[in-house]
Structures are given as structure tokens and as C-alpha cells.
Amino acid sequence: MLALDARLEIDRIVETLREQVLGTQRRRGVVVGLSGGIDSSVVATVCARAFGRDKVLGLFMPERDSSGDSLRLGRSVAGQLGIDTILEDIQPALEGIGAYARQMEAIRTAVPGYGEGWKCKLVMASVLESSGLNITRLTVEDPDGKIDTVRLSPAAYLQIVAATNYKQRVRKMTEYYHADRLNYAVAGTPNRLEYDQGFFVKQGDGVADVMPIVHLYKTQVYQLAEYLGIDEEVRTRPPTTDTFSMAQTQEEFYFALPYQLMDLCLYGMNHGISAGVVAAAAGLTAEQVEKVYKDIVSKRRAARYLHARPQLSAAMDRD
């Protein structure tokens, strides 16, 4: 259902990138933020094919909550490609702007003892296990390793998200700094599942000059990665947010199901395929697929704001 010809698709993306960056945008190369994940690794690799390794700059942008694996795997991919890289530690910027302090302030409204040495993440139950409104909760781990999960007030939840979103926005500012000084374009890394469902930060990782894989389901991105020979450890690493201090998968934070099943459901909805047919392919029940379909619609509704362009107070007619 989601199989593609990887070679032909890569050739098409490479040609499109050249037309967009060198032709339309008149830029000399691209900047890519490298996270050690599958999406940024594929984007960096196809960009190296499109422009040559000397016209791709990879950026590592860790902060205090980043996993050490992200930097290690990102460096491995960059080394395999032979592209130039720069490490930009964004922790001082986040501290200066108050990102960590604002996050802690919100968490303490639910967990008063939260402080140095504690860890946290936001979690959401699978839509298949939820009978009603699926509410995001906060999981914390104290310095002794005790884990607890609590509900948040709407204000606390929004403040945690807002404070955490600083991370993606500071990273994007950093990408554009290097793009401006080199006369490069910024290459975004969202795939179709993420972009469709609003799994990105407005004016953060949702912003770019080109998005080479945004039309591809995550399953298809993995097919390209295998064809391109990307490090097996990158290809087998579970997709993570790498945003909170506790380890967190994309599934427990945002998506209803593992990406393979989400892709099948999203494909089914996009092509008008019945829940029963998708259920047979995904190993789910038709009722479960219907729940996922409803969740897709709900997230698309919430994502309208993220996708929206600025609204003008009057039309801008050309003279």
C-alpha cells in the first residue's frame, strides 16, 4: 500500500531540490539541523546528492535535555556523508530567555516539590485505550527514581508547551543565521504524518525554505533510508521527541499508534478506504480504525492554525 520505488523517488526529489534552491530561490546550498533521527538523516543525504557534500551544512543543536544518542548518531550520519558540521549549544540561549524556569514554574503548580535533579515528560494514552477525551498528563521522576503521573490544569499545560517550544524556535533561528551568512536555504525535515497532523512548532521546525520529504509517509522515509544506506542504528531507533528530560516516544506524546499503523490509517483516510479494509491491513478492528480516523480529523482541525499564513487586513494589490 505504501511501497515506492526508492531510486526514482530520490532522483525526483534531487531534481526538484536543485530547481527550487538553485533556480527559484537562488541559494548556493542548504542548512540542515541534524538530530540523529531518520528524517533529518534522509534530508541531509538527499541534499548532499543534490548539491554536493561541500554545499550542505549540518547543525547539531543540543541542550540540557537532549539525548546523547542524538548527537552521536547525527555525527555518524554527517561523517558518512562527509559534510561540514557545526555544534551550536542552545542551552545558554534557552536559559537566558527563561525557557527552563518557565517550564519549572508551570510544573510546580501540579508537583510543588519539582526541582533540580527531577525529570519530566508529557504523555497521552493511546486513542484506542481512551473512551472519551484524551487528556495529556505530566509524568515526573524524582532524584531517587520514583515516577508519578499527574493531571495538569489547562494553564499549566499550555505554559509547559509554550516554554518547551522555545527549543524548536531557537534552533530554527540558528539555522537561519547560518543560512543567511552562507546564502544557503534551510531544509526542513517534517514528513507527511507529522505535517498533516500538526506535530511541529509554528515558527519552529514547521518553517523552512524547502521540505524534501513532507509528501512522504514516515514508512516511505524509512524505505528511502534503507536504499540510501543510512546507518542501521538510525533506521532502527524508535522515533523520539528528544524534547523533555525523560525519554519519550512520539507515540506516547502525540500519535495514536506506532507510525507504521498511523501511516496506514492516514493513507486510508486520504484515499477514501473503508475502516474495515484498513483494519485488515493494520491488524486492528474496524472500530479501532474509526477511532483513529476521528483522531486524525481532530488533529487536522487543531493544525489549521499551525498551517495558516498571516491574515492581512487588506489585499496587497501589485502596482
The answer to the question of whether 299 is labelled as a binding residue is no
Three-state secondary structure call for residue 120 = strand
The answer to the question of whether 89 is labelled as a binding residue is no
- Report field, pTM of the whole predicted structure over 0.85: yes
The answer to the question of whether 66 is labelled as a binding residue is no
Asked whether 175 and 33 are in contact (CB, 8 A), the reply is: yes
User: CA Rg, the chain, in Å?
Assistant: 20
The answer to the question of whether 147 is labelled as a binding residue is no
The answer to the question of whether 79 is labelled as a binding residue is no
**Measured distance between the N- and C-terminal CA atoms of the chain, rounded to whole angstroms:** 49
CA–CA separation, 216 vs 212, rounded Å? 9
Three-state secondary structure call for residue 33 = strand
The answer to the question of whether 249 is labelled as a binding residue is no
pLDDT tens sequence for the chain (319 residues): 799 999 999 999 999 999 999 999 999 999 999 999 999 999 999 999 999 999 999 999 999 999 999 999 999 999 999 999 999 999 999 999 999 999 999 999 999 999 999 999 999 877 777 665 668 899 999 999 999 999 999 999 999 999 999 999 999 999 999 999 999 999 999 999 999 999 999 999 999 999 999 999 999 999 999 999 999 999 999 888 889 999 888 877 788 688 999 999 999 999 999 999 999 999 999 999 999 999 999 999 999 999 999 999 998 887 5
Q: Domain spans of the chain?
A: 99-159, 256-303
The answer to the question of whether 209 is labelled as a binding residue is yes
Buried b / exposed e across 61-98, counting CB within 10 Å, b at 16+?
Answer: bbbebbbebbbebbbbbbebbebebeebebbebbeeee
Interacting residues of 315 by C-beta distance below 8 A, sequence separation 6+: none
Asked whether 292 and 127 are in contact (CB, 8 A), the reply is: yes
The answer to the question of whether 36 is labelled as a binding residue is yes
Asked whether 244 and 254 are in contact (CB, 8 A), the reply is: no
The answer to the question of whether 39 is labelled as a binding residue is yes
The answer to the question of whether 67 is labelled as a binding residue is no
The answer to the question of whether 81 is labelled as a binding residue is no
CA–CA separation, 32 vs 312, rounded Å? 31
> Exposed, middle or buried by CB within 10 Å (0-12, 13-18, 19+), for 304?
exposed
Asked whether 190 and 21 are in contact (CB, 8 A), the reply is: no
Q: Tell me which long-range contacts 123-126 makes (C-beta under 8 A, separation of at least 24).
A: 123/149, 123/248, 123/252, 123/253, 124/252, 124/253, 124/254, 126/251, 126/256, 126/257
